[in-house]
Homo-oligomer: A and B are copies of this chain.
Amino acid sequence: MDFKTDFKPLTIEPDKIYDYSFSIIKEEMGAHDFSEEEWMVVRRIIHASADFELGRSVMFNGDAIQAGINAIRKGRHVIVDVQMIESGTGKKRFQKYGGDLHCYISDEDVMKEAKRQNTTRAIISMQKAVRENEGGIYAIGNAPTALLELIRLIKEGIAKPDLIIGMPVGFVSAAESKEELAKLKDIPFITNVGRKGGSTVTVAALNAISILADQVK
């Protein structure tokens, strides 16, 4: 086989790869009801998943994007449920406003307490997050139990996030945790319907909002 006759990528110029991707996504998506700014988030979720069904299932509540932008600009912190989201998210766009990313799930005190209670580290890490942060953006892409615990803390009046990005993935409680989130009419949130989600799409949403924080007036 002669390599020279094989597939050559359309481009290897980094900036152009994004541009091409977004133009393909726009064309294949066709009609939708997302606002212009919502679409900036949704197209990144589709870009990260290659899944239009997932993209179409995304829901926004309570002027979620503006709430996220405001929180970033105020230097509010971003709390994520797992390290994959932490490592995939561009931190600089938060840090320049004074905020930072926090992931408590592997903290020693969290691990110890979860073991003691025979519960998930995700639950204990949310309790710690709410103790240690005022408001903040909560981006949960993996653990339904983290999202359910955060919802419980909100209902009990203990937590008041600026924005929740709630897109855990999976077969046990993931879809249900998002249904519970969707009932919180007073909290700005971004979520999706169904079992799909995950760290990569949560990162995509978080990055999209932090980019908008730099661009939108």
A interface residues with partner B (beta carbon < 8 Å)? 1, 3, 6-7, 9-14, 17, 20-21, 24-25, 47-51, 82-84, 86-88, 118-121, 123, 144-145, 148, 152, 155-156, 169-174, 176-177, 179-180, 183, 194-200, 203
A14 vs chain B, min Cβ distance (A): 6
- How far is it, in angstroms, between the C-alpha of A10 and the C-alpha of B25 when the chains are bound? 37
Interface centre among A6, A145, A200 (most CB of B within 10 A): A200
- How far is it, in angstroms, between the C-alpha of A12 and the C-alpha of B119 when the chains are bound? 6
A-B contact pairs, 17 of them (CB 8 A): A3-B156, A6-B183, A7-B176, A12-B123, A14-B121, A21-B170, A24-B172, A50-B174, A50-B195, A50-B197, A83-B88, A84-B84, A84-B87, A84-B88, A84-B200, A169-B200, A199-B199
Q: A1-B155, A83-B87 are in contact. Are A171 and B203 (CB under 8 A)?
A: no
Asked if A50 and B20 make an inter-chain contact with CB atoms under 8 angstroms apart, the answer reads: no
Residues on the B chain within 8 Å of A179, using CB: 7
Asked if B9 and A47 make an inter-chain contact with CB atoms under 8 angstroms apart, the answer reads: no
- How far is it, in angstroms, between the C-alpha of A51 and the C-alpha of B171 when the chains are bound? 10
Residues on the B chain within 8 Å of A148, using CB: 7, 9
- How far is it, in angstroms, between the C-alpha of A27 and the C-alpha of B47 when the chains are bound? 30
- How far is it, in angstroms, between the C-alpha of A17 and the C-alpha of B148 when the chains are bound? 15
Q: Which residue of the partner chain, among B84, B123, B144, B180, contacts A203 with CB atoms under 8 Å? A: B84
